[in-house]
Amino acid sequence: MSQDLDIFERHRASLLALAYRMLGDVARAEDAVQEAWVRWQKRTAEVDSPQAFLITIVARLCLDELSSARARYEESGSPRLPEPIDLQRVGAERVEMLDRVSMAFMVLLQRLTPAERAVFLLHEVFELQHAAIAELLGRSEAACRQLLRQAKRSVASGRRMLETSREEHQRLLRAFVAAIQQGDDSALLELLADDATLIVDSGRTPQTYGKLRQVVRPVVGRKRVIALVCAFARQGVSTRLHFLERELNGEPAVLTRLDGRLLSALLVAVADGRIQHVYLQNDPERLRLLEQSN
């Protein structure tokens, strides 16, 4: 028992890293890792590679979860964003490879099919061979190679958002928050890319602030994003918000409080000196860890 636990604990951080990247939700990721521990204890044969064995279990559990989650998300009728995490408070040892968990990267992964996501992570991040991945997915090696090529193309399209310096990222985020507070549309024009997008994850219970209803679909285009955030400022809600700088997913971010309660986590994706994407997570379920640590 002690030896089993020691072996499992050596791999726990990697397993959680895989599950979080697959699911975008810390609680569900931890559930998958816990179930992997149960199955590790119940194995009936010797295992040559505990790491490969455990990664395979977690990947299968995540694929099952994604299959059932798809129906839930479609029923919600609103966009879904990964759960933002405070890596310092969660513990860096529990979520490895911090440069690969940015919100922009997580959103890129989320746009892949579950099979593409699994192949990409297992091959590119966890270095499993195609034969093992093919067995896990129940597909041919050729099919898995094709899935990997498709995933790489999709991820490559957003790679420049993963290469911005921390200083540039923080500067643009601070300027964006200031422009929202002031309702300064000319400043926002300078900050946002022409094809900027805004995604708001309101969870299962969309809320209303002032007379402005919560966004339920991605807002595409700089002018539309500016019109929305300036309308938000004009409603007077922004003057009641308290902004707190934090580091989430290894990058600068801002938490907002409204009337004393945690309202949202604001993150941005930056490239070429402009804000490309704005992510606003205000699903209470996906803010629970931040609320507890704030």
Q: Which residue has the tokens 């951080």?
A: 13
User: Of 268, 265, 137, which Cα lies nearest the Cα of 196?
Assistant: 268
Structure token pair of residue 169: 């990222």
DSSP 249: T
With residue 233 as reference, give the H or E element that holds it: helix 222-234
What is the rounded distance in angstroms from the CA atom of residue 84 to the CA atom of residue 107?
11
Inform me whether the pLDDT recorded for 212 exceeds 50.
Answer: no
Inform me whether the pLDDT recorded for 207 exceeds 70.
Answer: no
What domains are there in the chain, each with its CATH number? 2-157 (1.20.140.160), 164-293 (3.10.450.50)
- 237 Cβ contact list (under 8 Å, min separation 6): 209, 210, 212, 258
Mean pLDDT value across the chain: 84
Instruction: Give 74 or 252, the one with higher predicted confidence.
Output: 252
Inform me whether the pLDDT recorded for 76 exceeds 80.
Answer: no
User: Of 55, 45, 62, 46, which Cα lies nearest the Cα of 8?
Assistant: 55
- Residue 90 is predicted with a pLDDT of 58
- Residue 234 is predicted with a pLDDT of 65
User: Of 233, 232, 291, 286, which Cα lies nearest the Cα of 257?
Assistant: 291
Cα dihedral: 214, 219, 224, 228 (round 10): 20
Inform me whether the pLDDT recorded for 294 exceeds 70.
Answer: no
What is the sign of the dihedral through the CA atoms of 48, 49, 55 and 58? positive
Highest mean pLDDT among 16-30, 89-103, 153-167, 201-215: 16-30
Q: Which residue has the tokens 């300027």?
A: 175
Inform me whether the pLDDT recorded for 66 exceeds 80.
Answer: yes
Length of the chain (residues)? 294
Across residues 75-101, what is the average pLDDT? 64
User: C-alpha distances in angstroms, 138 versus 122, 259, 270?
Assistant: 15, 51, 38
Inform me whether the pLDDT recorded for 89 exceeds 80.
Answer: no
Q: Which residue has the tokens 């791999």?
A: 11
The pTM for the full model equals 0.86
**Sorting pLDDT into bands at 50, 70 and 90, what band is 1?**
low
- Residue 75 is predicted with a pLDDT of 44
- Residue 236 is predicted with a pLDDT of 55
For residue range 218-267, what is the model confidence (pLDDT) as tens digits? Answer: 899 999 998 888 776 666 555 677 889 999 998 999 998 877 788 889 99
**Sorting pLDDT into bands at 50, 70 and 90, what band is 97?**
very low
Inform me whether the pLDDT recorded for 149 exceeds 90.
Answer: yes
Using left for φ > 0, alpha for ψ between -120 and 50, and beta otherwise, residue 277 falls in beta
